[in-house]
């Protein structure tokens, strides 16, 4: 390249080289993924498993895999079938979510979750309601400038800020009924910039039976939906051998946590794990050392699933090993919504090239567990 | 004195004394021969030069016209103007109801300017007139702004300077709103116009003479 240029233009040669290098760098850049692996025991007092399950608010898919198991036990099956209804409301105006009645009926009594449906986190306005009473709005630039509510720019914006995050504390608002703040928010949502979204709602009620979501939102088109459940049995599944004490695995004796994570992904996508060299779709091979399980039970629940239900499922899986079983370990994976504005607690979540935020438990027979948390590029390190 | 000693012969005298005009060529030759005999040392070229009197110009001077120093009246600097407080409004005069007649006056002025506002008029025409019109007394409100706390402020425009609007709101509060990065709404008889403050950074007096070009982006 530079040799070809004449002697009269030395600078042109240099810029040509610089542009090519910049393009190569951009091609080589892969958005980063983070995988955090930790191990602990369920009986340990400082174990964070409960906190992490409860603060991961918007869960899209829960799957668990039990090797060497043909039929699910009755308790597990009941739990799976009872993974709560969730509600879908079309064209709900935003000012309904800050109405005093809504806050008193749902937010204060129990845990209420809401997420806008079919909005892309990096393009459109997205709204999420967290159980601690915070309403998080992720607005694009024009909406933020017109709405007039105080917010901060998103962490994952480049030189020009395109997304802004507005956070409204509903518990705080409801305590002062006639404050200026409430009047301003109410004015912004009702007159200045009325926004309407399709919402996915779920409510875990504690306490006495009050009105339900169906009756409260009867003016709008609300549907009650049940999560989709897929139960299957996989035969002759090669499973890696794991040792609960060794996260990184031992060279000939056990596999590492990362290898297990990859293998689990291959199983969930129903890939062939035979290491056939001429297979067009996948040449993945189960990590060694491995044993072959005659049959394994794979169950997937898809929908807007409450963290409380996941906690019950996890506890039930722990109790799986109360009786002696053939299986050495069981796994439970939970995936979050790619378009949710928060991942864990109130950490901001962005899409970039695949907005994944998920966690995976591997439960061993001695109540040890491995926990793997994975996030994508536009995310902070998981807690 | 010279005229006493030397003066031309008249025709009559010349005839009397029998003097003939020598003719130009003979006179020239005579002068040359005379000079040669009188100044034998000088060359003929030097004599010619002397006769012709060439002057060598050493320097070239042109007299510059003395420009009259303009006596400008100094005027007041911004600091002195602020001290004079010509444009301040006293707190006791800051009442919204006091300025409602001003708003009515402004509405009448705009109606006259646009030759009677009819509902079927072209909005472009009204906008063109509004660009050059004076906005004192209009009810403006902020629709869009980079700073969210400015959004929603509505009131009668009291003063317009180069960069700001001074507005009095219904709650009798005088608000100073910078024009930069704000979009204002002016409403007259059902015609709503948006003013992009970033392009409007002119004194109202200068705005009537300015031609607006569509340059840059209207994104805030």
Instruction: Spell out the domain ranges in chain A.
Output: 34-84+227-375, 86-225
* Residue ranges of domains in chain B, CATH in brackets: 92-209 (2.30.30.210)
pLDDT at residue number B73: 63
* B96-148 pLDDT, tens digit each: 888 899 899 999 988 888 887 777 778 788 888 888 888 889 999 999 999 99
**Stretch B171-187: mean pLDDT, rounded?**
90
- Decide if pLDDT at B210 tops 50: yes
- Decide if pLDDT at A5 tops 70: no
What ipTM describes this predicted complex? Answer: 0.74
Residues A95/A186, Cβ–Cβ less than 8 Å = yes
* A98-117 pLDDT, tens digit each: 998 888 888 888 889 999 99
Query: Average pLDDT of chain A?
Result: 85
CA distance A147 to chain B (A): 7
Whether B145 sits inside 8 A of A150 (CB atoms) is no
Whether B148 sits inside 8 A of A192 (CB atoms) is no
Q: Determine which of B151, B171, B220 to mutate to test the interface with A (most A C-beta atoms within 10 Å).
A: B151
Cα–Cα–Cα angle for A81, A359, A265, rounded to 5 degrees: 85
**Stretch B191-217: mean pLDDT, rounded?**
85
pLDDT at residue number B83: 65
Chain centroid to CA A55: how far? 11
Nearest CA in chain B to A193: B143
Alpha helices in A74-128 (DSSP H): 74-81, 100-102
Q: Which residues of B touch A (CB under 8 A)?
A: 143-146, 148-152, 220
Whether A145 sits inside 8 A of B149 (CB atoms) is no
Paired residues of B145 in beta bridges: B182
pLDDT at residue number A190: 92
- Decide if pLDDT at A319 tops 80: yes
Counted residue by residue, chain B has a size of 220
Chains A and B form CB pairs within 8 A to the count of: 29
* B21-77 pLDDT, tens digit each: 777 888 888 888 888 888 888 787 887 877 787 777 777 777 776 666 666 666 667
Q: Determine which of A148, A149, A153, A187 to mutate to test the interface with B (most B C-beta atoms within 10 Å).
A: A148
* A347-378 pLDDT, tens digit each: 888 887 778 888 999 999 888 899 999 988 88
Q: Which of A253-262, B16-25, B83-92, B153-162 has the lowest mean pLDDT?
A: B83-92
CA-closest candidate to residue A113, choices A366, A310, A313, A365: A310
pTM, rounded to two decimals: 0.74
Q: Which of A198-212, A262-276, B83-97, B105-119 has the lowest mean pLDDT?
A: B83-97
Whether B151 sits inside 8 A of A150 (CB atoms) is no
**Stretch A69-79: mean pLDDT, rounded?**
86
- Decide if pLDDT at B159 tops 70: yes
The rounded percent of chain A whose pLDDT value lies above 70 is: 92
pLDDT at residue number A9: 54
**Which chain A residues contact residue B148 at CB under 8 A?**
144-145, 147-151
From edge to edge, which strands make up the β-sheet containing A34-41? A34-41, A368-375, A357-364, A329-336, A59-67, A290-305, A228-240
Higher pLDDT, B168 or A276: B168
pLDDT at residue number A1: 47
Whether B152 sits inside 8 A of A146 (CB atoms) is no
What is the C-alpha separation between B20 and B9, in angstroms, rounded? 11
Paired residues of A302 in beta bridges: A61, A228
Residue whose tokens read 């439970």? A332
**Which chain A residues contact residue B220 at CB under 8 A?**
141, 145
**Which chain A residues contact residue B145 at CB under 8 A?**
145, 148
Question: Which segments of chain B are extended strands (E)?
Answer: 139-145, 154-160, 164-169, 174-178, 182-188, 191-196
pLDDT at residue number A13: 65
- Decide if pLDDT at A6 tops 70: no
CA-closest candidate to residue A311, choices A109, A111, A56, A74: A56
**Which chain B residues contact residue A150 at CB under 8 A?**
148-149
**Which chain B residues contact residue A142 at CB under 8 A?**
144
Q: Which of A129-133, A222-226, A272-276 has the lowest mean pLDDT?
A: A272-276
pLDDT at residue number B188: 84
**Which chain A residues contact residue B143 at CB under 8 A?**
146
Alpha helices in chain A (DSSP H): 10-28, 49-55, 74-81, 100-102, 141-147, 170-175, 180-187, 213-216, 257-268, 307-318
**Which chain A residues contact residue B180 at CB under 8 A?**
none
Q: Categorize the per-residue pLDDT at A4 as very low, low, confident or very high, splitting at 50, 70 and 90.
A: very low
Residues A186/A93, Cβ–Cβ less than 8 Å = no
- Decide if pLDDT at A301 tops 90: yes
Whether A146 sits inside 8 A of B143 (CB atoms) is yes
Higher pLDDT, B124 or B90: B124
Query: Average pLDDT of chain B?
Result: 81
With an 8 Å Cβ cutoff, is A151 touching chain B?
Answer: yes
Q: Categorize the per-residue pLDDT at A2 as very low, low, confident or very high, splitting at 50, 70 and 90.
A: very low
What is the C-alpha separation between A251 and A344, in angstroms, rounded? 34
**Which chain A residues contact residue B185 at CB under 8 A?**
none
Whether A148 sits inside 8 A of B151 (CB atoms) is yes
Q: Determine which of A139, A145, A150, A153 to mutate to test the interface with B (most B C-beta atoms within 10 Å).
A: A145
pLDDT at residue number A300: 92
Whether B151 sits inside 8 A of A145 (CB atoms) is yes
- Decide if pLDDT at B177 tops 90: yes
With an 8 Å Cβ cutoff, is A167 touching chain B?
Answer: no
Q: What's the N-to-C CA distance of chain A in angstroms?
A: 49
From edge to edge, which strands make up the β-sheet containing A221-225? A152-153, A163-169, A134-140, A126-129, A111-116, A196-204, A86-93, A221-225
CA distance B168 to chain A (A): 19
- Decide if pLDDT at A183 tops 50: yes
Q: Determine which of B141, B152, B184 to mutate to test the interface with A (most A C-beta atoms within 10 Å).
A: B152
Q: What is the dihedral of CA B70, B73, B77, B83, to 10 degrees?
A: 170
Whether A187 sits inside 8 A of B152 (CB atoms) is yes
**Which chain B residues contact residue A188 at CB under 8 A?**
152
* A75-92 pLDDT, tens digit each: 889 989 988 889 999 999
């Amino acid at each position: 390249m530079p040799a070809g240029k004449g002697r009269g233009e030395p600078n042109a040669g240099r810029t040509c080289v610089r542009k090519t290098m910049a393009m190569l760098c951009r091609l080589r850049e892969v958005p980063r993924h983070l995988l955090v692996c930790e191990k602990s025991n369920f009986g340990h007092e400082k174990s964070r498993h409960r906190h992490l399950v409860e603060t991961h608010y918007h869960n899209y898919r829960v799957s668990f895999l039990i090797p060497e198991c043909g039929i699910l036990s009755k308790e597990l099956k009941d739990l799976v079938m009872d993974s709560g209804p969730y509600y879908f409301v079309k064209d709900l105006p935003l000012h309904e979510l800050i109405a005093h009645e809504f806050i008193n009926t749902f937010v204060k009594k129990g845990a209420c979750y809401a997420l806008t449906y079919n909005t892309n986190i990096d393009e459109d306005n997205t709204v999420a309601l967290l159980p601690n009473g915070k309403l998080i709005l992720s607005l694009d630039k024009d909406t933020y400038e017109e709405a007039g509510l105080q917010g901060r720019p998103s962490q994952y914006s480049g030189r020009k800020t395109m997304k802004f995050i507005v956070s409204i504390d509903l518990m705080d608002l409801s305590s002062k009924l006639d404050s200026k703040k409430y009047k301003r928010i109410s004015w912004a949502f009702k007159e200045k910039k009325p926004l309407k979204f399709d919402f996915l709602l779920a409510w875990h009620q504690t306490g006495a039976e009050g009105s339900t979501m169906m009756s409260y939102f009867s003016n709008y088109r609300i549907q009650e939906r049940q999560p989709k459940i897929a139960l299957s049995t996989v035969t002759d599944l090669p499973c890696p051998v794991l040792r609960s004490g060794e996260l990184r695995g031992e060279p000939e004796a056990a596999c590492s946590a990362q290898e297990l994570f990859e293998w689990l992904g291959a199983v969930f996508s129903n890939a062939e794990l035979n290491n056939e060299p001429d297979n067009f779709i996948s040449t993945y091979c189960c990590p060694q050392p491995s044993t072959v399980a005659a049959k394994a039970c794979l169950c997937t629940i898809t929908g807007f699933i409450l963290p409380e239900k996941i906690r019950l499922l996890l506890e039930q899986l722990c109790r799986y090993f109360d009786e002696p079983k053939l299986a050495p370990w069981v796994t439970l994976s939970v995936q979050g919504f790619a378009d949710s504005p928060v991942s864990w607690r109130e950490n901001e979540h962005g899409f970039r090239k695949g907005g994944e935020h998920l966690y995976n438990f591997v439960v061993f027979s001695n109540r040890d567990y491995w926990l793997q948390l994975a996030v994508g590029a536009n995310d902070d390190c998981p807690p | 004195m010279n005229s006493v000693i030397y003066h031309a012969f008249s025709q009559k005298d010349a005839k009397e004394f029998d003097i003939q005009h020598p003719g130009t060529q003979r006179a020239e030759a005579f002068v040359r021969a005379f000079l040669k005999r009188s100044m034998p040392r000088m060359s003929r070229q030097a004599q010619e030069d002397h006769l012709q009197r060439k002057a060598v110009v050493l320097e070239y001077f042109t007299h510059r016209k003395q420009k009259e120093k303009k006596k400008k009246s100094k005027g007041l600097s911004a600091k002195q103007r602020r001290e004079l407080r010509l444009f301040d409004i006293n707190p006791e005069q800051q009442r919204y109801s006091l300025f409602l007649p001003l708003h009515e006056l402004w509405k009448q002025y705009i109606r006259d300017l646009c030759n009677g506002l009819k509902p079927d008029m072209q909005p472009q025409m009204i906008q063109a007139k509004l660009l050059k019109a004076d906005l004192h007394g209009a009810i403006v409100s902020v629709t869009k702004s980079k700073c969210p706390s400015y959004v929603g402020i509505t009131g009668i425009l009291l003063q317009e300077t180069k960069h700001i609007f001074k507005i009095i709101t219904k709650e009798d509060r005088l608000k100073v709103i910078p024009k930069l990065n704000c979009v204002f709404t002016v409403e007259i008889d059902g015609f709503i116009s948006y003013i992009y403050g970033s392009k409007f950074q002119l004194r109202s007096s200068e705005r009537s003479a300015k031609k607006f070009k569509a340059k840059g982006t209207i994104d805030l």
